Amino acid sequence: MIQTDMIVDAKGLACPMPIVKTRKAMKELAPGNVMEVQATDKGSTADLKAWATSAGHQYLGTTEQDGTLTHYVRKSNSEEIQEKTYPHVVSNEELETLLANRAEIVLLDVREEAEYAFGHIPGAKSVPLGELDDALSIDKDSLIYVICRSGSRSDLAAQKLTEAGFVNVKNVVPGMSGWNGALEKSM
């Protein structure tokens, strides 16, 4: 079960009402939180995906059960559009090569739980950025690769880890938005 911060019931409503209700509810949602939108309009999948993208939010995915579509949308936050400042970065391709060669690394996925559930790199450990401080019991000398959707949250996480005394931290850019390697789902 995917944990969400708000549920919008748009069942029985036709276009454009699922978008109208979602847009209105999104104003009440805190940045970084995930909204669940329940709808029965088959066109709502394409509509919500397009709206989320145009509004700068992240469309995570959709599940369907008994004729009800459940959409997941994450509200973007200002941290994600900050300039990237962490100097030690690697490309997705470099990470994919390390994983193929079975390198001894720790891969931290700092996206929210719902983002991780809809698709993550096999072996990645889910540690949402907001839980980074109290979720780490990793050896400070480990080779740590940090990934998120675009490289922004992982940039912040890499900075936090370095400030906490971790010595081998790399930010993966562009992150999951450009990942072409293997994926797992955990929903």
How confident is the model over 168-184, as pLDDT tens digits? 999 999 999 999 999 99
Beta-bridge partner residues of 58: 74
DSSP β-ladder status, 34-39 and 6-10: parallel
Please pick, among 15, 17, 89, 98, the residue that the annotation labels catalytic: 15
Does 15 have pLDDT greater than 90?
no
Structure tokens of 137? 């019991």
CA 2 from chain centre, in angstroms, equals 13
pLDDT in tens, 89-100: 999 999 999 999
pLDDT in tens, 18-62: 999 999 999 999 998 999 999 999 889 988 888 887 788 899 999
Distance between CA atoms of residues 123 and 129, nearest Å: 18
| Cβ atoms of residues 184 and 146 within 8 Å | no
Residue 15 annotated as catalytic: yes
Taking CA 144 as the corner, what is the angle to CA 118 and CA 74, rounded to the nearest 5 degrees?
Answer: 30
Mean pLDDT of 110-123: 93
Position 135 scores a pLDDT of: 67
Position 77 scores a pLDDT of: 74
Mean pLDDT of 63-79: 89
Among the residue ranges 6-10, 129-133, 150-154, the one predicted with the least confidence is 129-133
